[in-house]
Chains A and B, each alone.
Chain A
Amino acid sequence: MPLTASPTTTPDAPDQEYLWTLNFGPQHPATHTTLRLVLTLDGERVVNSVPHIGYLHSGFEKLGEHLDFNQYVTIVDRMNYLSPLANEISWHHAVEKLLNIELTPRCKYLRTILAELMRLHDHLLNCGTSALDLGAFTAFLYFFEQRELIYDIVEYASGQRFHTSYTRVGGVMFDVNNDWVEKVRSFTKQFRKTHDEVHRLLTRNRIFMDRTKGIGVLSKEQAINLSCTGPVARASGVVRDLRKDEPYLAYKDLDFKVICSQGGDCYARYLVRMQEMIESVQIIEQAIENIPAGPVNVDVGSHVVLPAKPAVYRSIEGLIQHFEVNMPNKGYEVPHEEIYAATESPNGELGFYIVGQDSTRAYRARTRPPSYIHFAVFPHIIKGHMLSDVVAVLGSLNIIAAELDR
Chain B
Amino acid sequence: MLDLQPLIEKFGLTQSEFRGNRRVVVAADRVYSLLETLKNSHGFNMLIDVTCVDYLEYEGATDRFGVVYCLLNMSTGDRLIVKTLINDPTPTLPTVTTLWMGADWMEREVYDMFGITFTGHHDLRRILMPDEFSAFPLRKDYPLKGRGERHNFPVITRSES
Show the binding face of A for B, using Cβ within 8 Å. Answer: 3, 5, 8, 53-54, 57, 59, 61-63, 66, 97-98, 100, 222, 224-228, 238, 240, 245-246, 335-340, 342, 349, 351, 353, 355, 357-358, 363-364, 366, 368, 372-373, 375-376, 380, 405-406
Show the binding face of B for A, using Cβ within 8 Å. Answer: 18-19, 21, 23, 45-49, 51, 53-54, 57-60, 68, 70, 74, 77, 79, 81, 97, 100-106, 109, 113, 122-123, 125-130, 137-138, 144
Give complex CA distance A305, B127 in Å: 38
Whether the pair B46, A227 counts as a contact (CB closer than 8 A) is yes
How many Å from the CB of A17 to the closest CB on chain B? 24
Q: Which residue of B lies closest to A66 (CB)?
A: B144
Whether the pair A227, B102 counts as a contact (CB closer than 8 A) is yes
Whether the pair A376, B102 counts as a contact (CB closer than 8 A) is yes
Whether the pair A351, B49 counts as a contact (CB closer than 8 A) is yes
Give complex CA distance A226, B104 in Å: 9
Q: Which residue of B lies closest to A377 (CB)?
A: B102
Q: Provided the pairs A224-B45, A368-B49 are in contact, do residues A340 and B129 lie with their beta carbons within 8 angstroms?
A: no
Q: Provided the pairs A66-B144, A224-B74 are in contact, do residues A57 and B81 lie with their beta carbons within 8 angstroms?
A: no
Q: Provided the pairs A340-B21, A353-B51 are in contact, do residues A57 and B77 lie with their beta carbons within 8 angstroms?
A: no
* Chain A contacts for B46, CB-based, 8 A: 224, 227
A-B CB contact pairs (8 Å), 21 listed: A8-B122, A8-B125, A53-B127, A54-B126, A57-B128, A57-B129, A59-B137, A224-B46, A227-B100, A227-B102, A227-B106, A338-B21, A338-B23, A339-B19, A340-B49, A340-B79, A353-B68, A357-B58, A364-B54, A373-B106, A375-B105
How many Å from the CB of B50 to the closest CB on chain A? 9
Whether the pair B102, A339 counts as a contact (CB closer than 8 A) is no
* Chain B contacts for A3, CB-based, 8 A: 101
Give complex CA distance A349, B46 in Å: 12
Give complex CA distance A336, B48 in Å: 23
How many Å from the CB of B48 to the closest CB on chain A? 7
Whether the pair A351, B48 counts as a contact (CB closer than 8 A) is yes
The residue from B77, B97, B127, B144 contacting A54, defined by CB atoms under 8 A apart: B127
How many Å from the CB of B123 to the closest CB on chain A? 5
Q: Which residue of A lies closest to B51 (CB)?
A: A366
Give complex CA distance A227, B129 in Å: 23
Whether the pair B129, A226 counts as a contact (CB closer than 8 A) is no
Q: Which residue of B lies closest to A405 (CB)?
A: B128
Q: Provided the pairs A53-B127, A57-B129, A227-B47 are in contact, do residues A363 and B53 lie with their beta carbons within 8 angstroms?
A: yes
* Chain B contacts for A376, CB-based, 8 A: 102, 104-105
The residue from B79, B81, B103, B105 contacting A372, defined by CB atoms under 8 A apart: B105
Q: Provided the pairs A62-B138, A225-B101, A353-B68 are in contact, do residues A363 and B123 lie with their beta carbons within 8 angstroms?
A: no
Q: Which residue of B lies closest to A227 (CB)?
A: B102
* Chain B contacts for A224, CB-based, 8 A: 45-46, 74
The residue from A62, A336, A355, A405 contacting B53, defined by CB atoms under 8 A apart: A355
Give complex CA distance A225, B45 in Å: 7
